[in-house]
Structure 1
Amino acid sequence: MNWRVQFAPEALDQLQSIEKRIANAGAPMTAERYVNSIVDFCMKLQTFPARGVARDDLLPGLRVTHFRKRTIIAYTMEKEVVSIVGIFYGGQDYEAALTLDEDQ
């Protein structure tokens, strides 16, 4: 079964921020390739979305997985849809960010 992958607006904003951060460090081509690789990785969740670690303690149904040791991808799975809810780069405190989102 293939799932559909969708990105929350916040996740898209986070991808843009990651690209800007890397580009501003002097590597615009690397930034673009890195972000494209993240998107490709997320799209592969279509075939095996349960690969991440369950984090129901943060949000019901939340799963997280790592990408290249520096990026955490947070997502939910429901009704054959994988929703990318956050992409956290370089040690960002994803637990606090997702807990704040839930409280709002």
Structure 2
Amino acid sequence: MTYRIRFHPLVARDLDAIVRWILGYAGPDIAARKLAEIEEAIATLRDTPHKGSIRDEIAPGLRAIPAGRKAVIAFVVDDEAAEVLIFAVTYGGANWVSRSKARGR
């Protein structure tokens, strides 16, 4: 079964901030490559939504996976709806736990 990917409304802001930050120190080619790595990691959740570490101590059902070398994607799986909800995407050591909690998980 293929799962649908949904995004918390603030994930677009996460991705924009990541790209702007990388642009500032590494330029547009690296920023585009890192964004593509993150997008590829998210896309894999369509077919394998239950991968990653379950972080119930943070919030029930919350999972996290790495994307590339410095990004973390926090998400929950809704099997009944066949959906993966991306709660937060962080980069370079940003606190994905706090961000996920603030967004309702």
Residue 27 (structure 1) aligned with residue 22 (structure 2): no
CA distance in 1, matches of 2:88, 2:26: 25
CA distance in 1, matches of 2:87, 2:21: 20
CA distance in 2, matches of 1:58, 1:38: 22
Letter of the 1:82 counterpart: V
Name the counterpart of 2:91: 89
Letter of the 1:22 counterpart: I
Q: Identity of aligned pairs, percent?
A: 26
State the TM-score, normalized to the length of structure 1.
0.89
> Which consecutive unaligned segments of at least 5 residues does structure 1 have?
none
Cα separation, partners in 2 of 1:32 and 1:57, compared to 1, 3 Å: same
Q: How many residues align?
A: 103
* Greater helix fraction, Structure 1 or Structure 2: 1
CA distance in 1, matches of 2:15, 2:36: 9
CA distance in 1, matches of 2:2, 2:26: 38
RMSD between superposed Cα atoms in Å: 1.6
> Which consecutive unaligned segments of at least 5 residues does structure 2 have?
none
Deviation track 1:4-24 (CA, whole Å, cap 9, x = no partner) reads 112222111101100000111
Letter of the 2:99 counterpart: A
- 1:97 deviates by 2.4
- 1:65 deviates by 0.6
Question: Matches of residues 42-61 of structure 1 in structure 2 within 5 Å?
Answer: 42-61=42-61
Name the counterpart of 1:98: 100
